[in-house]
Structure 1
């Protein structure tokens, strides 16, 4: 009876182990030996972005085209990771859900995520692929619209939000009594609309938004080459992703070989006609 009981218990243990293994939640990712990554879908790299994704980050809300700064960066990184363009799969997420704790249905997410210590508690970040520049927003009819030099900016009234990196930079490279300080970007925008100032200064991503959505006949007339103190953008990955180091290495590679600089110049300067003030 003891022998039979032992055998029965052994059989039960094997069955229980098998059932437990089958019932355990498995990650939706799968190992992809050909690329050395663990991805949502074997042989594919799933990249998420916003819905919609705006120009100049993604042109015409079509990241699969590779047109736009972040779409181009995504494909450049995918290539460094060993993925052909046809093996990149795009999906969409909201900004907040992407940086919230919990499982993800993407391998990478790119939609102007500023790297912060607080966010690092919930997700991983790659090396930065962009440091925000500061820029000038004005209207097509403003005297500020045609100014191309730092010296020229001293001849117009510029609004800026207090306590921002933009304000610090503006004081450094422009200075002068023509700078008017406001409590927020919203207040500065109102001052521009009312004619109290000729232009406003803010970070480049915000400048694109304001010129497109908030300021009638708005234009981003130029950007500052000095990006010291600017926020850094990185790819978001699931917390503890085994791919984070490899993605960072890919970002570092396109930075080192000059490809990232060429992409930045094309999509955040030349294409959108936002030259550097000199």
Structure 2
């Protein structure tokens, strides 16, 4: 369970080089493995030699496909966990709603879930979370022609609001009195805005920031208000899987202490806000 100083230094490297995850469909996630095993420190894994991660694609900059590989901030952090455990990360693309219930963890198809997932009391009833690894905010993105910048303006003008289904963005919108158009993925949210199905969307700020790096998006859409909700992301494991949860916590804390976290944050998201974030 320990991490040597030499291994800490070795893991400070470009995240793409660290990624060796295989993208599989949820339908095939139970086939072709060697069966359960045990990683370094007695951590149980559902497939020998692997740390199997359930995620939901795409959700840049946390997890998305690039050049035939799944990469992103979440992927890079879990690669650190896998390295500490002496195994290789394997990624399964699964429906997001399963993360709330822990279905794929309970069925033994995945060891953990990593999907830009907010820690909530409701979700804690079904899964155990790691220490927080990301402080999140929501943001409004609107079409420039709509002329709106805030949720209050969207409501006042009776415009259509979109959000990703089963997310805290959708929950926040409902809490503000909206009945948002629910899209299955972040890509579908953006497409809904592009095609005029909705006039504005509410979704995590880093996702909006990534979208606006594209010139076409920047020309068509405008970043509106930021919404501080006090959300924090965590990785989840099956309830009672204390050894894996402890290994994830240790990797996150080590990464913060040795500078790896800052390096990965700046690579995938941007400048790290505030000292000690």
Q: CA deviation at 1:114?
A: 0.9
Q: 1:228 to 1:116 in 2, by over 3 A?
A: same
Q: Give SS of 1:128's match.
A: coil
Task: State the match for 1:37 in structure 2.
Answer: 43
Structure 1 residues 108-149: Cα deviation after superposition (integer angstroms, max 9, x where no partner): 21111111122111111111111103546356x78xxxxxxx
**What is the TM-score normalised by the length of structure 1?**
0.55
Offset from partner CA, 1:22-41 (integer Å, 9 cap, x none) = xxxxxx64333x34311112
2:253 equivalent to 1:248: no
1:48 maps to 2:39: no
CA deviation profile, 1:76-117 (whole Å, cap 9, x unmatched): 3323x2336xx2222222111233253331112111111112
Matched pairs, number: 199
3-state SS of 1:45 partner = strand
- Given the alignment of the two structures, is residue 235 of structure 1 paired with residue 235 of structure 2, yes or no? yes
Contact 2:61 2:206 in 1 (8 A): no
Call closer, same or farther: CA 1:109–1:138 in 2, change over 3 Å: same
In the other structure, the counterpart of 1:11 is none
Task: Determine the C-alpha separation between the residues in 1 that align with 2:140 and 2:204.
Answer: 8
Decide whether the 8 Å contact of 2:142 with 2:224 is kept in 1. no
Aligned partner of 2:63 in structure 1 is: 58
Length-normalised TM-score, structure 2: 0.55
* Residues 231 and 218 of structure 1: CA distance in aligned 2, closer, same or farther (over 3 Å): farther
SS where residue 151 of structure 2 aligns?
Answer: strand
Alignment check: 8 A CA contact 2:119 2:234 kept: yes
| Aligned ranges 1:181-192 → 2 under 5 Å | 183-184=177-178
CA contact 1:113–1:235 (8 Å) conserved in 2: yes
Change (3 A) 1:45 1:161: farther
Q: Is the 8 A contact 1:208 1:220 kept in 2?
A: no
Give the SS at the match of 1:133: strand
Unaligned runs of at least 5 residues, structure 2: 1-34, 154-175, 182-189
Q: Which has the larger radius of gyration?
A: 1
3-state SS in 1 of match to 2:58? coil
**CA shift in 2, pair 1:62/1:82, >3 Å:** farther
* 2-structure distance, mates of 1:76, 1:56: 17
Indicate yes or no: 2:70 matched with 1:69: no
Aligned residues of 1:137 and 1:218 also touching (Cα < 8 A)? no
Whole-angstrom distance in 1 between the partners of 2:125 and 2:41: 27
